Amino acid sequence: MEFDDMNHMPEWEHFSRFGRDDEDEENLSQYDAEKVRLKVNRAKLLYNQARAIYKCAAIFCETLEGEMAEITSGLIMQNAMMLCPKIIGAEGADLYLLRMENASIIRTNCRELETQIKAADLFSLCNADYKNIVLDEIEKFRLLFIEWVKNFEKDENVDDWGLY
């Protein structure tokens, strides 16, 4: 499978309306317009890194060998496929509670993905070099994720479950 052929996840530009409302855009102060631009840029960087993880994970799964390769591959891809949609869900709603809920799910999927990649190595299903490539991409994502979540703005909505 060719790396560039793996465009199952749409590019960020497919969601070009994020951070833009043409009617309100001209009414924003320079400060607010910059704030929106930075917010969208953080989300775009995170989304693009999630796409990179997805592509690397898919290629990694093609290298797995052994009796547990198929189930391990399924688990890895299940978690890798959740990242992009959850980022879109968080950005599309722009409500603190939904953003936090999606961020929590993203973190869980990344941690499980990391565990599954390491388990593939532990059970000798993969080449350690390939494992390190995917783990490096996850680490890049984690650092972008921290910046993304750090800038969520709490709103007046109350979490009925008391979590956020």
Instruction: Report yes or no on 20 lying in a domain.
Output: no
Instruction: Report yes or no on 131 lying in a domain.
Output: yes
Cα separation of 135 and 125, whole Å?
16
State residue 36's pLDDT score.
Answer: 87
| Phi, psi for 108 (deg, rounded to 5) | -60, -45
CATH classification of the domain holding 122:
1.20.1440.60
φ/ψ region of 34 (left if φ > 0, alpha if ψ in -120 to 50, else beta) reads alpha
Digit-coded pLDDT (tens) for 38-59: 999 999 999 999 999 999 999 9
Instruction: Report yes or no on 139 lying in a domain.
Output: yes
Instruction: Report yes or no on 124 lying in a domain.
Output: yes
State residue 24's pLDDT score.
Answer: 58
Query: If DSSP codes are grouped into helix, strand and coil, which group holds residue 78?
Result: helix
Instruction: Report yes or no on 55 lying in a domain.
Output: yes
Instruction: Report yes or no on 14 lying in a domain.
Output: no
State residue 1's pLDDT score.
Answer: 47
Residue 38's domain spans which residues? 33-150
State residue 113's pLDDT score.
Answer: 98
Instruction: Report yes or no on 41 lying in a domain.
Output: yes
Q: How many CB atoms lie within 10 A of CB 163?
A: 9
- Overall number of domains in the chain: 1
Question: Which parts of the chain have pLDDT scores under 70?
Answer: 1-7, 16-25
- Long-range CB contacts (< 8 A, 24+ apart) of 87-91? 87/43, 87/46, 87/47, 87/50, 88/15, 88/47, 90/43, 91/15, 91/18, 91/40, 91/43
Q: What is the pTM of this model?
A: 0.87
N- to C-terminal Cα separation, the chain? 42
Instruction: Report yes or no on 115 lying in a domain.
Output: yes
